[in-house]
A and B are shown apart, each in its own frame.
Chain A
Amino acid sequence: MSSLLDTPTAAPDAPAARPERRWRAALGLLPFALYFLVFLGGPLYFVISGAFTDADGRPTLGNLVASLMSPQYLLAFRQSLLLSAVTAVIGAVFGTFLAQAVLTARPRSPLRRTVSTASGVLAYFGGVPLAFAFIAALGQTGLATAWLRSAGIDLYASGFRIDSLTGLALTYVYFQIPLMVILITPALEGLLPQWREAAENLGASAWSYWRLVALPVLAPAFAGATLVLFGNAFAAYATALALTSGSIPLVPTAIASALSGNVLVGQANVGLALGLDMVVVIAIVMVAYLWLQRRAARWSRR
């Protein structure tokens, strides 16, 4: 009986039809593959080959060594990593709280609609306009700075500067939080109400429910979204440049000055080596994330 059921009767036809169908499916991917090759493969090849050759085209490890050993670049890396990690974590935590707060409001409430629309806009409101908005608000002569001063709080006397790492972090968080709201909302919506009710019914407090039931379910999505936030901050260039004019060393601004020969002529290939370093950092984070995901997702279908 079971052997009858196990035999797939349609099997003889299936393999014959498959290769052709597979080709046709692959054909649909062709435009994307070309696009990928030209706009990702090309630059990557350019970066890698440039990073390993000197100005005269001879192979060398000098650029890479310079990008990893010279104090100015080390500082840039340390600050970029710190800035990205701190704003990713702050963005992830506050973004999750905000998303959950919005989800507990009624589906059609003005609050919910306002926050979700605002998140969609603000998550991509980076670059020069954002930097200018922050300078206008929190710069030395900014509006908010003036208000605070008249209220007896002198930001700049207490050591704050908008063109500092703290100022940058504050500005980055402004687009990190809305981005987190967008990324984590679907995962929060995936928490079934009966899990909460079952936990309550079994005597769990709200804290126990979040700690033991909801957070483990959310963990993979939370980690993934935090990683996106990290990459988002790590690669941000225009905001940092407009806000600090390059006075705070960060990897993207360091690459820009090396490529344009602002500091020293003939450093273009060191700039490419710095670019390669960034690719490696992102790759390491990705691998760590995949490893985490596999461990965390033992209970899931994948």
Chain B
Amino acid sequence: MTAVQKSPAETATDAAVEFRGVSRVFGETRALDGLDLALRRGELLALLGPSGCGKTTALRLLAGFDRPTSGEIRIDGRDVTGVPASKRDTGMVFQAYSLFPTMTAAENVAFGLRMRKVGGAERGRRAAELLELVGLGDRGGSYPHELSGGQQQRVALARALAVRPSVLLLDEPLSALDARVRVQLRDEIRRLQLAEGITTLFVTHDQSEALAVADRVAVLNAGRMEQVDVPQEVYARPATPFVAEFVGVMNTVPVSGGRITPGAAETTQVRPEALLVGAPDGLAGTVLTSTFLGPVTRLVIRTEVGELTADAVTRPGLPAIGEHTTVQISG
């Protein structure tokens, strides 16, 4: 159950953001329980976990909307634990409906600059530049209700970036959008983040989103950090059973000599794509469900070691529901 994590000393030198032993207690609930986490300068770190795991609490503590019960938060090496939200120099994108409804898109983007007493002409120029950057150069005069959900989130992103914050905070910014727009905007956020080189904390409960855009993924469960690593490692070598279950689908099977062996003492974890359906020396089973996912078809097969989930390349001749087949670890 020990979390695999880079030691604080190793990352402290060029950490843009640091949580040091941060806890937040709401009445009886420990929303965060001694969180240690460091973001490197310019990286996009996805904070991933199920709802109620404390990821939003962590983000709100960093933004300054809430104070930790104990622990310390640093931005660029400066302790900001007691600094109010308005003086923290973070840029935040909320889940939805955060644009000021009485202001046009351009006025929304310019708001932070206005608060920093930037002159009108300069504000207008910068707002136009940012709207151009998020692909809404011609919508500066539109009011939020005249924009689609995806466009509103682009404006919110432009608004957060306009003040050149030291950290960009994304609080499930894609969760209210439909699937196609979600993927499109996700990739665009990554593109902009790389172009601007801005340190970013991306909170999400969607593991595919986290794996797709992040430099590193931090998996949080019940207020505690389970694993922080690059997406490939989190997926291939989950540090805890929770991570294995939460990130993608994982089968736990008894093995002997690298083959599924009923009754073997040793167990291992196998991803669905690492199981071979219809293997000549496989374990016998019956197909319970079959889900066509395009290039692959996901089969749930009942065997004597339990139900196994296997992804097979879609092809003619795959076993149908109720049919018998065999399954084995491939390679």
Q: Which residues of A contact B (CB under 8 A)?
A: 192, 194-195, 197-205, 208, 212-213, 216-217, 298-301
**Count of B interface residues, CB-CB < 8 Å:** 32
For the complex, what is the distance from the CA of A194 to the CA of B172, rounded to whole Å? 13
The 8 Å CB contact of A198, one of B87, B88, B92, B145, is B92
Q: Are A213 and B100 in contact (CB under 8 A)?
A: yes
Report how far A201 CA is from B63 CA in the complex, Å.
7
For B97, give the chain A residue with the smallest CB separation.
Answer: A192
Residues of chain B within 8 A (CB-CB) of A195 are: 98, 100
Number of A-B residue pairs, CB cutoff 8 Å, is: 73
For residue B177, give the distance in angstroms from its CB to the closest CB of chain A.
Answer: 16
* Residue B179 is within 8 A (CB to CB) of chain A in the complex: no
Residues of A within 8 A of B143 (CB): 298-299
- Enumerate chain A residues within 8 angstroms of B102, measured Cβ to Cβ: 213, 216-217, 299
Minimum CB–CB distance from A218 to chain B (whole Å) comes to 10
B residues near A197, Cβ cutoff 8 Å? 63, 65, 85, 92, 94, 98
Quick check: is B112 within 8 A (CB to CB) of the other chain? yes
**Beyond A299-B102, A300-B145, is A205–B92 a contact (Cβ under 8 Å)?**
no
Chain B, Cβ-Cβ closest to A202: B112
Given contact pairs A197-B92, A200-B86, a sample of 4 additional A-B residue pairs in the complex whose CB atoms are under 8 Å apart: A198-B99, A200-B65, A212-B111, A217-B101
Most chain A CB within a 10 A radius of its CB, from B95, B102, B144, B159? B102
Interface SS of chain A? helix
Question: Whole-angstrom distance between the alpha carbons of A202 and B95 in the complex?
Answer: 16
- Contact at A202–B98, with CB atoms within 8 Å? no
CB nearest neighbor in A for B114: A212
User: Is B238 part of the binding interface, using a Cβ–Cβ cutoff of 8 Å?
Assistant: no
Chain B interface residues toward A at CB < 8 A: 63-65, 84-88, 90-92, 94-95, 97-103, 111-112, 114-116, 143-145, 156, 159-160, 163
Given A217-B101, A299-B102, A201–B145 Cβ distance below 8 Å? no
Residue of B nearest to A197 (CB): B65
C-alpha spacing A202/B65, complex, angstroms: 12
Of A199, A204, A299, the residue contacting B101 (CB under 8 A) is A299
Measured CB to CB, the closest approach of chain B to A217, in angstroms, equals 6
Q: How far is the CB of A109 from chain B (nearest CB, A)?
A: 16
**Min CB gap A275→B, angstroms:** 40
A192 to B100, CA, bound (A): 10
With contacts A194-B97, A217-B102, A300-B101 taken as known, whether A202 is within 8 angstroms of B145 at the C-beta atoms is no
What residues on B are CB-neighbors of A301 within 8 Å?
Answer: 145
A299-B143, A301-B145 as given contacts; A198 in contact with B98, CB under 8 Å: yes
Contact assessment for B92 and A208 in the assembled complex, using a CB-CB cutoff below 8 Å: no
- Bound Cα distance A201, B112 (Å): 8
A301→B84 CA distance, assembly (Å):
34
Contacts of B91 in A (CB 8 A): 201-202
Contact A202 B159 (CB under 8 A): yes
Q: Which residue of B lies closest to A296 (CB)?
A: B102
